[in-house]
Amino acid sequence: MNSSSPELRRITQSRVLPAPRFRYTPAIQAGAFVFVSGLIGLDPTTGELAASGAAAETTQVLKNFRLLCEEQGWSVDRMLIARVFCAGDGVAAEVNAAWDVFFADTEPPCRSFMVVKELPLKAAVEIEFQLLA
């Protein structure tokens, strides 16, 4: 079996996520695990970054992730970890506020939070996800 065998790895196509602007795979399922590339807060309809800062971007990322899960038949409740990247250290409170609203009715997953110098398209927030299919 080679590494591109569908039994080992399945590339996931999505019609609900904004189209990638760079060369990468938005999501890959490997066995029982799904790995979702870092998402920034792009509106899937307009392709524009959510206005109003880190809270709005975080909300849009989480909405996009939920749409992807619904499209693929996955469950947000099966998220194992989210890795949050923020451009600058002054946005943590905004990210946390949006995060708390999204997970108000369920236990949130494990989470890492990293501050970076810059993100694609001048985004304030990027989040990647790992979940069980």
Tell me: the pLDDT tens digits for 57-114? 999 999 999 999 999 999 999 999 999 999 988 899 999 999 999 999 999 999 999 9
Q: Are 29 and 13 in contact (CB under 8 A)?
A: no
pLDDT, residue 1, reads 43
Region 6-17: mean pLDDT is 84
d(CA 128, CA 82) in angstroms, rounded, equals: 6
Q: What is the mean pLDDT of the chain?
A: 92
Count Cβ atoms within 10 A of the Cβ of residue 46 and give its class: 0-12 exposed, 13-18 middle, 19 or more buried: exposed
Biggest alpha carbon–alpha carbon distance for the chain? 48
Q: How many CA atoms lie within 13 A of 126 on its CB side?
A: 18
Count Cβ atoms within 10 A of the Cβ of residue 67 and give its class: 0-12 exposed, 13-18 middle, 19 or more buried: middle
Predicted TM-score (pTM) of this structure? 0.91
What percentage of the chain carries pLDDT values higher than 70? 95
pLDDT surpassing 60 at residue 6: no
Q: Are 96 and 103 in contact (CB under 8 A)?
A: no
pLDDT, residue 120, reads 93
Domain borders along the chain are: 10-132
pLDDT, residue 5, reads 54
Q: Are 79 and 109 in contact (CB under 8 A)?
A: yes
- CATH fold, domain 10-132, is 60s Ribosomal Protein L30; Chain: A; (3.30.1330)
d(CA 49, CA 42) in angstroms, rounded, equals: 4
